[in-house]
Amino acid sequence: MITSLAACGGNAQSGASSSPTEAGKETESVGAEAEKTGAPADGVDIDLTAMSGTMVYSEVLNMQKTPEAYEGKVVKMSGPFNVTDYNGKTYFACIIADATACCSTGIEFDLKGDHSYPEDYPAPQTEITVVGVFNTYMEGKSRYLQLKDAEMIA
Amino acid sequence: MSELFSTLSLYLSRSFVVNALIVGVLIALCSSLLGVTLVLKRYSFIGDGLSHVAFGAMAVAAVLGLTNNMPLVLTITVLCAVLLLRMGKNAKIKGDAAIAMISVGSLAIGYLLMNIFGTGSSNLSGDVCSTLFGSTSILTLSDFDVWMCIVLSVIVVLFFVLFYNKIFSVTFDESFARATGQRAGLYNLMIAIVIAVIIVVSMQLVGSLLISALVIFPALSAMRVFKSFKSVTVCAAIVSVFCALIGLLTSILAGTPVGSTIVAVDIVVFVIFFIIGAFTKGRKA
């Protein structure tokens, strides 16, 4: 069971206000092989900022379907910043929308080092660019996607 | 231009894009082969009706929490195709009324079930949107989906090649085919089953609301220029594959919705063929 942020209605904020569990989209892992993505010079394995909207959304959906294929890869993505409070914990995510403008999904990120909210973070819905290592973790019975050791570069 | 090619080259290095192109070409080929028969038999809307049935079946599969919904969706859609054909001949509710009834009924029940019982995700509108318009489902295929599509496509093409003469005769003059001892009912039934298979496979490419376009536009485009059954079928197949490829590549490069982009390319090609047809007809006259 894989869970990540997902929302609908053409408005990222609608899903952004939900907790990861509430807004989670469950998909089954089908066990794909790790893909050759080409490694750009800046060390980023998958640069979502250089892709079209359709490709970005498809890539993120594939990350949700086959996270094993992406584990350990350095991912760069941009989109509206999102904050979610759930069970006393605060989650930060970068949201992307699909080409039909009816859905949005996103990936949680965990910044490298010590940071406190709201001092070290931008206002919700601010356009951000994040680079981090793709990772999955278990919380309760659900598996979540995350960019760990992330850096907010814009 | 070189930037465009380098972007395309980067996208083509992703296995899910290659899978989408393979499945897209196969679906376009299969849908166009039977599209000619459907248009000539005035069955253009059976595709639309069956796609709504497939949507209802997908809703049932989602509610049941099936990871792989293809076998269930395929079975229900084939049964409805057979039912529609039988009802059309003998029942009190005939032809277009039966198609309309099953079509809207399935759509409504499917959406109702998804709302009442959920789909295993809270992203209900997204699931519905993706199923109806095929937003990115072809770009998120599993290996099983790809192989299933390849096998079903081979079956459809083999059926068309092996039964070409029978399909030809029941398409143009069913009464004559019956009078000459051919089992027109059986061939109609086989056509209905194959159409159901094509619809289920095609849903991943353009979504259930746009499938009819994939079936009828290539056939109608080819009919503007060519006149014989064989030439129309060959041209429809080429047009369909071309439109699917151009639509898919445009979609991933420009970031537009996959299904709508393919149908838009189909419409542009139809207009071009319409103009060519009008021009050549005018010269002959």
- Give the tens place of pLDDT for each residue, B132-170: 776 567 888 888 888 888 998 999 999 989 988 888 888
Q: A53-57, B31-35, B83-87, B218-222: lowest mean pLDDT where? A: B83-87
The Cα B218–Cα B242 span in angstroms is: 10
Question: Among A38, A54, A56, whose Cβ lies nearest the Cβ of B10?
Answer: A38
The answer to whether the CB atoms of B126 and A62 lie below 8 A apart is no
CATH 1.10.3470.10 fits B2-284, yes or no: yes
Mean pLDDT of chain B: 83
The Cα B207–Cα B184 span in angstroms is: 31
Whole-structure pTM over 0.80, yes or no?
no
The Cα A41–Cα A38 span in angstroms is: 10
Residue A8 C-alpha, separation from nearest chain B C-alpha, in angstroms: 6
Across residues B7-15, what is the average pLDDT?
87
Which contiguous run of DSSP H or E holds residue A132? strand A127-139
What was the ipTM of the complex prediction? 0.73
Chain B residue numbers with beta carbons less than 8 Å from the beta carbon of A4 are none
Chain B residue numbers with beta carbons less than 8 Å from the beta carbon of A99 are 135-136, 251, 255-258
Instruction: Say which residue the tokens 């496979």 belong to.
Output: B201
Q: Would you give the distance in Å from CA A68 to the centre of its chain?
A: 15
* Residue in A24, A6, A37, A44 with CA at minimum distance from that of residue A150: A44
Across residues A85-95, what is the average pLDDT?
87
Chain B residue numbers with beta carbons less than 8 Å from the beta carbon of A38 are 10, 13
Query: How crowded is residue B80: how many other Cβ atoms within 10 Å of its Cβ?
Result: 25
Q: Judge whether B245 and B21 are in contact, CB under 8 Å.
A: yes
- The pLDDT value recorded for residue B90 is 61
- The pLDDT value recorded for residue B235 is 95
Q: Judge whether A154 and A129 are in contact, CB under 8 Å.
A: yes
Q: For chain B, what are the domain ranges?
A: 2-284
Query: Which chain A residue lies closest to B248 (C-alpha atoms)?
Result: A54
Q: Which residues of A touch B (CB under 8 A)?
A: 6-9, 18, 22-28, 30, 32, 35-38, 50-59, 61-62, 65, 98-100, 102-103
Across residues A110-116, what is the average pLDDT?
87
Q: B49-58, B65-74, B184-193, B209-218: lowest mean pLDDT where? A: B65-74
Question: Among B10, B67, B133, whose Cβ lies nearest the Cβ of A100?
Answer: B133
DSSP letters along B47-84, please? HHHHHHHHHHHHHHHHHHT-S--HHHHHHHHHHHHHHH
Quote the tokens at residue B130: 């993706």
Angle between helix axes B44-64 and B15-40 (nearest 10 degrees) is 140
The Cα B24–Cα B241 span in angstroms is: 8
- The pLDDT value recorded for residue B29 is 92
The answer to whether the CB atoms of A6 and B126 lie below 8 A apart is yes
Q: Is the pLDDT of residue B122 over 80?
A: no
Query: Residue B187's pLDDT band (boundaries 50, 70, 90)?
Result: confident
Mean pLDDT of chain A: 74
The Cα B285–Cα B282 span in angstroms is: 5
B52-55: long-range contacts (C-beta < 8 A, 24 or more apart)?
B52/B102, B52/B103, B52/B104, B52/B106, B52/B107, B52/B110, B52/B208, B53/B77, B53/B80, B53/B102, B53/B103, B53/B106, B54/B199, B54/B200, B54/B203, B54/B208, B55/B106, B55/B107, B55/B110, B55/B131, B55/B132, B55/B203, B55/B208
The answer to whether the CB atoms of A18 and B122 lie below 8 A apart is yes
Q: Is the pLDDT of residue A52 over 60?
A: yes
Strand A2-3 to strand A142-152: parallel, antiparallel, or no bridges (unpaired)?
Answer: parallel
The Cα B221–Cα B215 span in angstroms is: 11
Query: Which chain B residue lies closest to A28 (C-alpha atoms)?
Result: B67
The answer to whether the CB atoms of B123 and A8 lie below 8 A apart is yes
Contacts of B215 (CB under 8 A, 6+ apart): B31, B32, B34, B35, B38, B44, B47, B198, B202
The answer to whether the CB atoms of A54 and B256 lie below 8 A apart is yes
Q: Judge whether A4 and A107 are in contact, CB under 8 Å.
A: yes
- The pLDDT value recorded for residue A11 is 38
Which contiguous run of DSSP H or E holds residue B90? helix B70-90
pLDDT in tens, A53-80: 888 888 888 888 889 989 999 999 999 9
Higher pLDDT, B151 or B83: B151
Residue A18 C-alpha, separation from nearest chain B C-alpha, in angstroms: 10
Most confident option among A11-15, B61-65, B225-229: B225-229
- The pLDDT value recorded for residue A15 is 34
Chain A residue numbers with beta carbons less than 8 Å from the beta carbon of B123 are 6-8, 23, 25, 103
Question: Phi/psi zone of residue A97: left (φ > 0), alpha (ψ -120 to 50 degrees), beta?
Answer: beta
Any A CB within 8 A of B273 CB: no
Higher pLDDT, A3 or B283: B283
Query: Is-cis flag, bond preceding A80, omega within 30?
Result: no
Query: Residue B191's pLDDT band (boundaries 50, 70, 90)?
Result: confident
The CA-atom distances, in angstroms, between B100 and each of A2, B133, B146 are 39, 20, 31
Query: Residue A30's pLDDT band (boundaries 50, 70, 90)?
Result: very low
Most confident option among A86-95, A111-120, B168-177, B239-248: B239-248
